A and B are shown apart, each in its own frame.
Chain A
């Protein structure tokens, strides 16, 4: 059993900036004497002064080491950030990504010299097709939101290629990811919000009322941001198809469905994957994402160019030759080079390591863990759409008889050494706390987290100030988020202030 204790005194930790640590004459490198003739830069290009900090290597390392200790990471503790799928990232992913054969290749190398990378990209496309039930995949998009943008561009190109040009409306449920309206808005589509019914499903009557021949499609997050599987998925899909629209699946919550349901089989026309969520690559400040898009056969011609394919089958003696092909009606390139290869490589490792049964087990454990936490917490915190959840659930961060809010509860959790859940999203739940434990957490951790939240609910009644002023145990206390948002000043001193001091 993990015992959480909260000391009364806040540790005083302040790390000076590199400018403050600087001392003239210190340096981290010494250049050798030049062995070529010295040439000087034109005078017009020379600066009069360059106030950069001067430090030795060890000073810089210690500075960043100190800063890193202020950080909270999934390697350091439980990180139940709803919708973000902050699962543990297995370190074998990193070992594979550092293999010289991968790490030292360059995207401009001749294709014949990087056939291993090409084979890997091709295999990844095939695996994602098999996992999702789609017929073609692009690995280009750099993260989920760019995958969405790629998806809506494909949807529009599909309609326009059929001469169907009056489609301007994108339907988006109020339980969708916030990036969905942004992606559609970015290409000038009109966004129509569809409400949820009281069970947290898409309101079918409201959906049908909007379905006409101006609908581009529906952007469906399923499971949705309430962590609920839409109980009328088939009918939702049928309704959209009946008016000539396409169904876009937001794959950010695919972690709940691996090996259980293939979106392509359920009638979804296209979907992005978040490799950095579902397939365990570092993200959220720890690294870039990757947002491949899968499509049905009728949309395959519109995928971004190029995609990897076998260009020469080879024979018994000669292995197949991989190359790039351009889909005939492509929307064009959406990313330079070939997507985030290093992320794709890590996700590939994760899929290879788990295999089909392992992937299914991931989703089963993710759903089991979320339901376990839901069962432990529902008598303490109100859960407005309370039914069996998928990989996450949303509770109200309020306690009867107390004025504490979701933000106070989230901040107080930091005193118990947990990363707070996502708060104030989705917006259809008052004071939302969106909790996603992921499959990599054991029962002891889940119990400790549940007990912390139950303890906090008791504190909210007996000592609400403790919550209003939380966190107490972190290097810095409650930040003034309002001031930070209203006064957009990032730095207290400008470099010229240092130069003159």
Chain B
């Protein structure tokens, strides 16, 4: 399982990049969901968001799940490509699979890579 060291992580399995403001689903989350077949981003550009609010709804062959905003701030960009190619979330969750960019986000409440790795290990047995 891939957990890039430069990113921050939420308890609900989102990653956040403090440099670019991008966020998405972690590798752990996409693996749990298995093949993702549908993504709907619930935010729009310019919207002010609070951390923990629904950001996207994601459906896989196994389950439907919600993705939450990792930080508070203002939505600056949305990844339109996901609607047509939801499989990117499986193949490249930390790269082309970014979901939204949030400006002015404070990542201090999020976990670093080491902590998130332990958090994932606790949940799988």
**A interface residues with partner B (beta carbon < 8 Å):** 424, 427, 430, 481-482, 485-486
Q: Would A485 and B63 count as touching, CB distance under 8 A?
A: no
- Tell me the nearest residue of chain B to A384, going by C-beta: B125
Chain B at the A interface: SS class:
loop
Q: Would A424 and B63 count as touching, CB distance under 8 A?
A: yes
- Tell me the nearest residue of chain A to B61, going by C-beta: A481
Give the docked Cα–Cα distance between A485 and B87 (Å).
12
A368 to chain B, nearest CB (A): 30
B91 to chain A, nearest CB (A): 13
Q: Would A486 and B86 count as touching, CB distance under 8 A?
A: yes
Q: Would A485 and B38 count as touching, CB distance under 8 A?
A: yes
Contacts of B87 in A (CB 8 A): 486
Contacts of B35 in A (CB 8 A): 481-482, 485
B89 to chain A, nearest CB (A): 12
Is residue B115 contacting chain A, with contact meaning CB distance below 8 A?
no
Q: Would A427 and B37 count as touching, CB distance under 8 A?
A: no
B114 to chain A, nearest CB (A): 24
Q: Would A424 and B62 count as touching, CB distance under 8 A?
A: yes
The residue among B35, B62, B87 with the most chain A CB atoms within 10 A of its own CB is B62
Name the one of B61, B63, B124 contacting A482, with C-beta atoms under 8 angstroms.
B61
Contacts of A424 in B (CB 8 A): 62-63
- Tell me the nearest residue of chain B to A424, going by C-beta: B62
Q: For window 66-125 of chain B, which residues contact chain A by CB distance below 8 Å?
A: 86-87, 124
The residue among A427, A430, A485 with the most chain B CB atoms within 10 A of its own CB is A485
Contacts of A430 in B (CB 8 A): 124
Q: Would B62 and A485 count as touching, CB distance under 8 A?
A: no
Give the docked Cα–Cα distance between A427 and B29 (Å).
13
Give the docked Cα–Cα distance between A143 and B68 (Å).
33
A434 to chain B, nearest CB (A): 13
A422 to chain B, nearest CB (A): 12
- Tell me the nearest residue of chain A to B38, going by C-beta: A485
Give the docked Cα–Cα distance between A501 and B87 (Å).
37
Chain A at the B interface: SS class:
helix
Q: Would B63 and A486 count as touching, CB distance under 8 A?
A: no
A374 to chain B, nearest CB (A): 20
Instruction: List 17 A–B pairs whose Cβ atoms lie within 8 Å, in order of A's numbering.
Output: A424-B62, A424-B63, A427-B63, A430-B124, A481-B35, A481-B61, A482-B35, A482-B37, A482-B61, A485-B35, A485-B37, A485-B38, A485-B59, A485-B61, A486-B37, A486-B86, A486-B87
Contacts of B38 in A (CB 8 A): 485-486
- 0/1 interface trace, chain B 41-68, chain A, CB 8 Å (1 if under): 0000000000000000001011100000
Give the docked Cα–Cα distance between A481 and B38 (Å).
13
- Tell me the nearest residue of chain A to B65, going by C-beta: A427
The residue among A424, A427, A430, A482 with the most chain B CB atoms within 10 A of its own CB is A482
- Tell me the nearest residue of chain A to B64, going by C-beta: A178
Contacts of B124 in A (CB 8 A): 430
Give the docked Cα–Cα distance between A430 and B31 (Å).
12
Give the docked Cα–Cα distance between A424 and B64 (Å).
11
- Tell me the nearest residue of chain A to B85, going by C-beta: A486
Give the docked Cα–Cα distance between A430 and B124 (Å).
9
Give the docked Cα–Cα distance between A482 and B87 (Å).
10
- New A-B pairs, 15, CB < 8 Å, besides A485-B37, A485-B61, A486-B86: A424-B62, A424-B63, A427-B63, A430-B124, A481-B35, A481-B61, A482-B35, A482-B37, A482-B61, A485-B35, A485-B38, A485-B59, A486-B37, A486-B38, A486-B87
- 0/1 interface trace, chain B 21-35, chain A, CB 8 Å (1 if under): 000000000000001
Contacts of B37 in A (CB 8 A): 482, 485-486
A165 to chain B, nearest CB (A): 24
Give the docked Cα–Cα distance between A485 and B38 (Å).
8
A395 to chain B, nearest CB (A): 14
Contacts of A486 in B (CB 8 A): 37-38, 86-87
A269 to chain B, nearest CB (A): 29
- Tell me the nearest residue of chain B to A425, going by C-beta: B63
Contacts of A481 in B (CB 8 A): 35, 61
A401 to chain B, nearest CB (A): 15
Give the docked Cα–Cα distance between A4 and B59 (Å).
36
Give the docked Cα–Cα distance between A226 and B124 (Å).
19
Give the docked Cα–Cα distance between A482 and B62 (Å).
10
Give the docked Cα–Cα distance between A427 and B124 (Å).
14
Give the docked Cα–Cα distance between A501 and B106 (Å).
63
Give the docked Cα–Cα distance between A73 and B31 (Å).
33
Contacts of A482 in B (CB 8 A): 35, 37, 61
Closest 3 CB pairs of A and B: A485-B37, A424-B62, A482-B35
A403 to chain B, nearest CB (A): 13
Give the docked Cα–Cα distance between A486 and B61 (Å).
10
A479 to chain B, nearest CB (A): 10
Give the docked Cα–Cα distance between A482 and B59 (Å).
11
- Tell me the nearest residue of chain A to B37, going by C-beta: A485
